[in-house]
Each structure stands twice: as C-alpha cells, then as structure tokens.
C-alpha cells in the first residue's frame, strides 16, 4: 500500500486519454478546433503579461480556448504541481509550538518594559501587561535539531522535511483583515485569493474536479469569510469550491430524489441535443461551451462524491491520520487534501478555526484550548507529510502551514484586567510558518526573532515574500504574473515581494 500501483496509474492514464479523445471528436463534429472557440464572455483584460511573445498570453477577447480551466504552463519549469495550504485561523502561538525563547521564560511574570509598548497598538492589551513565558517544554529533534514544543509529538517524525520561516511580519492585527492579507495580498476586500491566482494561471489538471478546493473545520468559516477563497476581480470560475463534510460535498451536486443516473443521462443528452440545434441557429460559441459544461457536471456528480469519500481508505491510513469517516474534522480534511492533489487538484486550501488563544476562557487558554488544537492537528499533519512522501508526491506538492499573524510574548490583560487563564494577544510583528515539499529545502530555516520573540532581528519576511515564493515554486515570476483591472496590471504581490531563496532546494 505504500507505493502507487503502476498498473493503476497506467489505466488511469489511458482513461484520461480516451476522455480527451471524446472531447476532440465532439469538437470536430462542430467544425471547431480547440484554438478557435471563443470564450466570449470572459472579456478583455485577462492577460498575464502584455509581452506578446510570452507563452502565457491569454487574450480571452480574441480566440481563446473555451475552457478557462484548461491546464496551462507557467513561466518556467515548476517545482510544485499542487499546493496544500493549512491555515490555522485565529493565529496560533509561535511560543507554544516552534519559536523557542528561554529568555522569555526567565522574564515570566515581570512587567513589560515601556520600550516594548511605546507607539504600539494592541487589539486587547491595555496599560502595562506582564511577560508570559512559554507554556510548553521544548526539545530539539531531527538532524536539523529544530526546537519543537511538547505539544507536537508527531511532528518530530517529519521535522526534517520542513523549512521554518520564523521572521514573518504582517501589517494587520485583526483577524479578518489579516486573513485577507494572508490569502489575497491585501487587507482590503475585493482582491483574488492565492488559490484563485494559481488556478487562473495553471488551470486544472483534472477535468472532473474543480481546480481549487476549500475545506473547513472548526465549526465555522475563517473570520474573513468566503472572501479568502473568492476570485475578487478575476472571473468567478477561479474561485475556490467549498467542499463540505455534511450534505452534498459540493452544493447542488446530488440529483433530485428519483432522478436516477440513467434518467439524468437522458436529460443531459436531450438538453445538449437541443443546444446543438440552437448552435446551428446562432453559431454562438458559448453554446458549445455550455454543452461541454453539462458533460462535466454529469461527470462531477460521480467524481466528486468518490474523491470526497474517505470511508474506503485502508485502516492503516485511518490510524495514521486519526480520521473518522463521517465527521467534520481537520484530520478528515487533511486526508481529503492528499486524495485531491493525487487526483490533480491544483490548490487545496484548508481552514481550521479556533486558534485564537487569548486566554479569556478555557477554549482560548494556552493550557487547555491550545493544547487541544495541537492534539487535533499534530497527528494528521505528520501523517500528511509521511503519506505524500511514501506516494512520491511530496516532491511535487507544496505544503504550507501558518496563521494570519503571531501572538504577543505578554500575557493579555483584556480591558486592563488580569485574566484567569494564560493567553496572548494578536501580534503582527513576528511569527512562524513552515513549508515543505515542492522544492522546499528539507530541514531548513530562515529568519530569526529577538530573545523574546517580539521583533524580527534577521531575515525579515513579508507576506508578499511568502506569496512570491509560493508562486515561484509553481513556476511563476510573481512580478510578471498580472491581471489587467481598473486600468492597471494587478499582482498578487502588489508592488513588493522577494523570493526566500534560503529555503529553496
């Protein structure tokens, strides 16, 4: 079970080929070739770069391909084919996970010096807070000797697979705008998400599945809502498709009661037959596109429930990930993420809500809620990296972990009052993320914070740098990857962003 069955791969390949052929036959029947079908409605402005020699040039206004999700090649050879992005919504504390600060432990309980507070704005800390030492024991693991908290026992096995980025900063200290910043490169509403950019640039490898899938756990959406997987000013075809654990995995996927697969086939045949006659009348290429979209919808009705069903996974996989079919859980979503990238989905975005450890109640206490969140995510994350590796997929899958900002080395004192539990306020100036696979160095590290993890002292990394690096691994020059909107070319990285070379292979 550890290896992918080559026979299976071959048969999959052959199946895909035959599907492609069917499509070609259909198109020839209408006297059209792939290159001459007009998308029509995806109007102007959709180009990646104005340079005409650029192979990425896609002008929807002239003679585009009718399928906006057709696989595309990026600017240069990509290290990663797909992305699994694990976002811990609420912002996990670096001090209880990855950023070991013995000096902070010594300062525990002392009043925060004014030099750290002058000119700073906090979401909840008022007046003079007290320093808060780490609420976890740390030790070094792996050949890289990375420091890890005791709350991440499984992560020890895979610590050498990842590269830590410890000196990240953002400019937002409230969840919604910071999540927008993290996923769209701007704290303003209305920009396309990272996954939308990637799908716009690369299309989808699998014709029967969406190119950009979103999975959520923790009971609610991230604070910034669906806009963090929205397509902003890009066509909505590039927005993330939220797959759900309960009800239809994709909204409206299931046929109405009584409509069997057979009847559905008849209906779609009839619809498409009438549409062909309509095409003969008006010659509108959009009609041809619609015919193919109905075919894809028909296929999706089978392919999506299939890929979203984890009950048929072998027991050892369930043991490894800690999955329980039927639940809405982070573990289930992580396993689904692996299945989806295996099937050619480009971008799988996970949101796990509940990391906002302010210490205002048990759920948000570092000594209770935070430990629970670590326990629920540690095992599946380790399993994901091991599983991708054993399938030979880690090399081509970029895995990203992180929150929207960091947390303060001070104990929160909301409203100027001492709290019952230990907890930390939002902190935009220094936090940790990690990346693995997809051309990321094994056992690497970049960036350093000061002795109390308050400020970055070396190799400061911005969110735009993270985005530039992600795009680079997917084969994009982030400065040339643009979309014309409101009279100017927009970039995910706006006017900034530099590659984090140190963590690249």
Partner 1 sequence: MAIKSKNYVIRVLWIIGILVIVLLASSIYRNTFRDIDYNTQVKPILNKHCISCHGGVKQNAGFSLISRSNALEVTESGLPAIIPGDIKNSEFIRRLTTDDLDERMPQGSDPLSEKEIIILKNWVKQGVKWGVHWAYNPLKKQDNEKPRSLLTVLSSESNMTPRSIDYFIQDKLVELGLKQNSKAERSELLRRASFDIVGLPPSLELIKKYVESEEIDFEEVVDILLNSNSFGENWASMWLDIARYADSKGFERDQNRSIWRYRDYVISSFNTDKPYNQFIIEQMAGDLLNNPTDEELVATGFHRNTSTNDEGGTDNEEYRIKAVMDRVSTTWEGLLGTTMACVQCHGHPYDPFPHKEFYQSMAFLNNTRDADTNPDYPVLYFLDTLSQQKLDDLTEWIQLVDTKQKSQEIEKFVRTVQPVIYSIEADQYVNSALYDTKYLGLRKDGVARIPNVPLTQIEVLLMRAYTTQYGGKLFVHIDYPQGEVIAETNLKKSTEGYEIIEIPIKEVSGNHDIFLEYQNPSLDLEDSPGIMMDWYYLSQNFPGKTDIKHRFYKREYYDLLESKHDHTLIMTENPDSRKRRTHVFDRGNWQIHKEEVFPKVPEVLPQINSTSDPDRLAFAKWIVDEGNPLTSRTFVNRVWEQIFGQGIALTVEDLGSQGVPPTHLELLDWMAYTWMYEDEWSIKDLIKKILLSETYQQSSITSTESQAKDPSNQYLSRSPRIRLSAEQVRDQALMVSGLLSNKMYGRPVMPPQPENVWQTPYNTESWIRSEGEDQYRRAIYTMIKRSALYPSMETFDLSARQVCVSRRIRTNTPLQALVTLNDPVFVEASEHLAQRMKNEGGGELKDQISFAYKLAMGKDIADDKGLVLQNLYKRSLTSFKSQNDDKYLNAEMDALTTVANAVLNLDEFLNK
Q: Please, what is the minimum distance in Å from the beta carbon of residue 262 to partner 1? A: 6
Q: Which of 7, 115, 315, 486 binds partner 1 (CB under 8 A)?
A: 486
Q: Which is nearer to partner 1, 122 or 476 (CB)?
A: 122
Paired residues of 491 in beta bridges: 482
Q: Under the criterion CB under 8 A, does residue 85 sit at the interface with partner 1? A: no
Asked if residue 122 binds partner 1 (CB under 8 A), the reply is yes
Packed helices 369-390 and 330-342: angle between N→C axes, nearest 10 degrees: 20
Q: Which residues 414-433 are close enough to bind partner 1 by CB under 8 A?
A: 414-418, 425-426
Report the distance separating Cα 26 and Cα 288, nearest Å. 10
Nearest Cα to 323, choosing from 314, 315, 313, 332? Answer: 332
Give the contact letters, 145-184, x = binds to partner 1 (CB under 8 A), - = no: ----------------------------xxxxx-------
The least distance separating partner 1 from the CB of residue 89, rounded to whole angstroms, comes to: 8
- Smallest distance, partner 1 to C-beta of residue 105, A: 26
> Using the rule CB under 8 A, is 29 a contact of partner 1?
no
Size of the site for partner 1 (CB under 8 A): 96
Phi, psi of 85 (to 5 degrees): -110, 115
Shortest distance, position 44 Cβ to partner 1, whole Å: 6
Task: List helix spans (H) across 133-209.
Answer: 175-184, 194-202
Query: Which of 139/274 has CB closer to partner 1?
Result: 274
Task: Tell me if 399 sits within 8 A of 438, measured CB to CB.
Answer: yes
CA dist., res. 350 & res. 45, Å (int): 30
Site string for partner 1, 92-121 (x = CB under 8 A): -----------------------------x
Distance CA 367, CA 132 (A): 12
Contacts with partner 1, 247-276, as mask; x by CB under 8 A: xx-xxxxxxxxxxx-xxx-xx-xxx-xxx-
Question: In the complex with partner 1, which residue's Cβ is closer, 138 or 197?
Answer: 197
Query: What are the b/e assignments for 232-261, b being 16+ CB within 10 Å?
Result: bebbebbbbbbbebeeebbeebeeeeeeee
12, 16, 40, 390: residue in contact with partner 1 (rule CB under 8 A): 40
Task: Please report, in angstroms and rounded to a whole number, the separation of the first and last CA atoms in the chain.
Answer: 29
Q: 84 with 398: CB under 8 angstroms?
A: yes
327 binds partner 1 (CB under 8 A): no
The reply to whether 20 sits near partner 1 by the rule CB under 8 A is no
Q: Is 443 in the site for partner 1 (CB under 8 A)?
A: no
Interaction with partner 1 in 354-413: which residues (CB under 8 A)? none
* From 151-159, 212-220, 388-396, 446-454, span contacting partner 1 (CB under 8 A): 212-220
**Strand, helix or coil for residue 414:** helix
41-80: which residues touch partner 1 (CB under 8 A)? 41-45, 50, 61-63, 68
- DSSP for residue 77: -
Q: State how far the Cα of 380 lies from the Cα of 383, in Å rounded to an integer.
A: 5
- Of 157 and 482, the one with the shorter C-beta distance to partner 1 is 482
């Amino acid at each position: 079970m550890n290896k992918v069955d080559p026979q299976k791969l071959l048969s999959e390949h052959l199946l895909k080929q035959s599907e492609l052929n069917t499509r070609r036959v259909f198109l020839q029947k209408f006297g059209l070739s792939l290159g001459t079908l007009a998308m029509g409605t995806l109007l102007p402005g959709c180009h990646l770069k104005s340079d005409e020699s650029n192979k990425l040039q896609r002008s929807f206004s002239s003679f585009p391909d009718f399928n906006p999700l057709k696989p595309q090649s990026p600017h240069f050879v990509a290290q990663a084919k797909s992305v699994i992005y694990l976002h811990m919504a609420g912002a996990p504390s670096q001090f209880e996970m990855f950023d070991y600060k013995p000096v902070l432990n010594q300062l525990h309980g002392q009043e925060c010096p004014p030099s750290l507070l002058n000119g700073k704005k906090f979401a909840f800390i008022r007046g003079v807070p007290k320093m808060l030492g780490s609420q976890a024991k740390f030790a070094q693991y792996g050949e890289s000797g990375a420091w890890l908290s005791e709350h991440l026992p499984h992560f020890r096995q895979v610590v050498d697979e990842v590269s830590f980025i410890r000196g990240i900063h953002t400019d937002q200290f409230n969840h919604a705008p910071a999540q927008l910043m993290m996923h769209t490169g701007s704290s303003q509403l209305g920009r396309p998400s990272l996954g939308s950019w990637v799908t716009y640039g690369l299309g989808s490898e699998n014709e029967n599945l969406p190119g950009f899938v979103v999975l959520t756990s923790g009971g609610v959406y991230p604070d910034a809502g669906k806009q963090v997987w929205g397509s902003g000013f890009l066509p909505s075809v590039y927005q993330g498709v939220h797959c759900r654990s309960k009800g239809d995995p994709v909204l409206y996927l299931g046929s109405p009661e009584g409509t069997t697969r057979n009847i559905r086939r008849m209906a779609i045949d009839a619809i498409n037959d009438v549409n062909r006659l309509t095409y003969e009348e008006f010659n509108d290429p959009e009609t041809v596109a619609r015919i193919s979209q109905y075919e894809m919808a028909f296929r999706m009705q089978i392919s999506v429930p299939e890929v979203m069903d984890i009950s048929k996974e072998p027991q050892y996989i369930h043991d490894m990930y800690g999955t329980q079919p039927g639940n809405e859980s982070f573990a289930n979503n992580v396993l689904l993420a692996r299945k989806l990238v295996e099937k050619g989905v480009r971008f799988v975005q996970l949101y796990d809500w509940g990391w906002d450890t302010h210490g205002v109640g048990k759920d948000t206490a570092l000594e209770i809620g935070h430990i629970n969140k670590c326990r629920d995510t540690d095992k599946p994350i380790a399993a994901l990296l091991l599983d991708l590796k054993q399938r030979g997929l880690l090399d081509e899958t970029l895995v990203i972990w992180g929150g929207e900002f960091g947390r303060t080395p001070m104990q929160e004192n909301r409203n100027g009052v001492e709290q019952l539990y230990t907890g930390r306020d939002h902190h935009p100036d220094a936090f940790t993320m990690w990346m693995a696979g997809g051309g990321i160095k094994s056992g690497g590290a970049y960036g350093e914070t000061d002795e109390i993890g308050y400020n970055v002292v070396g190799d400061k990394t911005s969110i735009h740098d993270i985005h530039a690096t992600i795009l680079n691994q997917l084969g994009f020059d982030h400065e040339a990857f643009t979309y014309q909107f409101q009279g100017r070319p927009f970039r995910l990285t706006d006017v900034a962003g530099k590659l984090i070379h140190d963590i690249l292979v």
